[in-house]
Structure 1
Amino acid sequence: MDATAIAAAAAPAPGFGHFIAQSDAVGKFLLGVLVVMSIASWGLILAKGVTQFLRGKRSMTFLDFFWNARSLDAVQAELNTHGARDPFSHLSAHALHAQAHHARYGAAKLSEAGTANDFITRTIKKVLDEETTQLESGLTTLATIGATAPFVGLFGTVWGVYHALLAIGMSGAGTLDKVAGPVGEALIMTGIGLAVAIPAVIAYNAFTRSNRVLSARLDAFAYELHSFLTLGEAPGAGVQTATVRPLKPATAN
């Protein structure tokens, strides 16, 4: 076995470990950025996924109770007992409190100015804005990771190819086996960037669609709730059959 064969056998096999070992500070920094992005992305995906599942389950439970309640007093009693744990119960609790507060104290402050209808409307709008903000929390981070991770990986690839070509040029060995290994290793960074970005983009689109559907349902429920509190019946209740009884408005304590 000649010296060339011995040197080839002793040389480390190209791969991820060899790529990390021969990377400079910039390459390691870019890899660290991608690792942090991946951890943040999966943390947000898991946290928002669990939160979304629990929110949907609790919302269905509350809506089933709400539409089968005999009056808004029963809804208020349920909220006093178990509290508001989902967007629909949160909206109902604040709207019922606004109705009772205005009936008891009237327009004592500028924030309560106007009729009871005006005060309830402002309260409902405020809660809807709060729920929308809460639903969208974390989505900006997911969108940023999905948009920037491929470019961070591409930057790492370009940086790795640049140093690989410099090393090949200094060694004077321009054969295919000497070029393909280092360049192929540099492409690992692009693959890592895509692996980080793809789950973030998929999760962002899924959460955005789910939030859009929930917001539409919440808007429709807010309209119904406002009608119950101000009119004592749901919109179109006048054309309901006699077997359908509208909810009675809650009495002010």
Structure 2
Amino acid sequence: MIGAMKALAFTGGDWVIYILIICSVLTVAIIVERAVLFSRERKEVEKVKRAFGQGATSAELKNIPCLPGRVLGEAAAHAADGFYMVEQVVANVTQDERKRLENRMIIINTLGNNAVYIGLFGTVLGVIKAFKDLSMAGGGGAEVVMQGLSEALIATAAGLLVAIPCVVAYNYFQKAIREIVADSDAMARLYLARLKTDAKR
């Protein structure tokens, strides 16, 4: 076990950089996919606001593909089942739709929190290899170490290059989710208030 760890330590951090390159490609793909989804979702939310204000039917609302559209559509479809049932439907559909919006967000969050440490791990391996090369160098030791250290630091830079966009994207998308859910909750509360008022008449 110890021998395997030593062998790994002396390999340097080049392979870690390749892992980070794969992570960066994965990150870009997810960020682009989520950005397109949230852009489309916001446009559909505006459609729901207009349709809801104009008294659209449950079928019309459900056909608008976004969180509040499905929430209000399902709520209107169960209006005859009573106020309590509609409340439960709103809560359940909101939870399901929120999961849809949060899909793959855990990958961005994980990479944002850990890519720097992966890069640092590569740097540590690179430093170990640099000092090993120094011990084996007959001459020009300083140059060997400086070259090794500069190469090792590339791993840390690569880790930061992956982590920073992930953190920014994660915070941005979380804000977008909160805003969409808030819009949906506001319309759902208004719908429930109308339902309650109609039931008292």
TM-score by length of 1: 0.69
Residue 91 (structure 2) aligns with? 125
User: TM-score, structure 2 length as denominator?
Assistant: 0.86
State the distance in 2 between where 1:66 and 1:167 align.
Answer: 70
Cα RMSD over matched residues? 2.2
Question: Superposed, which structure 2 residues align to 1:45-60 within 5 Å?
Answer: 45-60=31-46
Give the alignment of 1:221-240 within 5 angstroms.
221-232=187-198
Paired AA for residue 106 in structure 2 = T
Counterpart mapping for 1:1-253 below 5 A: 27-67=13-53, 69=54, 71=55, 74-76=56-58, 78-79=60-61, 83-100=63-80, 102=81, 116-232=82-198
Q: Deviations over 1:168-216 (max 9, x none)?
A: 2111325432321121111111111110111001101111112122222
In structure 1, runs of 5+ residues without a counterpart are: 1-23, 103-115, 234-253
> 1:124 and 1:226 mapped to 2: Cα distance?
9
Code of the residue aligned with 1:142 in structure 2: it is I
More helix by share: 2
Amino acid at match of 1:145: L
Runs of 5+ consecutive residues of structure 2 not aligned to the other structure: 1-9
Give secondary structure in 1 for the equivalent of 2:13: helix
TM-aligned CA deviation for residue 138 of structure 1: 1.8
In the alignment, the residues of structure 2 paired with residue 200 and residue 47 of structure 1 have an alpha-carbon distance, to the nearest angstrom, of: 13
Shift of 1:153: 0.7
Residue by residue over 1:85-116, the C-alpha shift from the partner in whole angstroms, topping out at 9 and shown as x without a partner, is 1111111110111124x3xxxxxxxxxxxxx1
The ranges of structure 1 where at least 4 consecutive aligned residues each deviate by more than 6 angstroms after the TM superposition are none
How many matched pairs?
191
Task: Give the partner amino acid of 1:203.
Answer: A
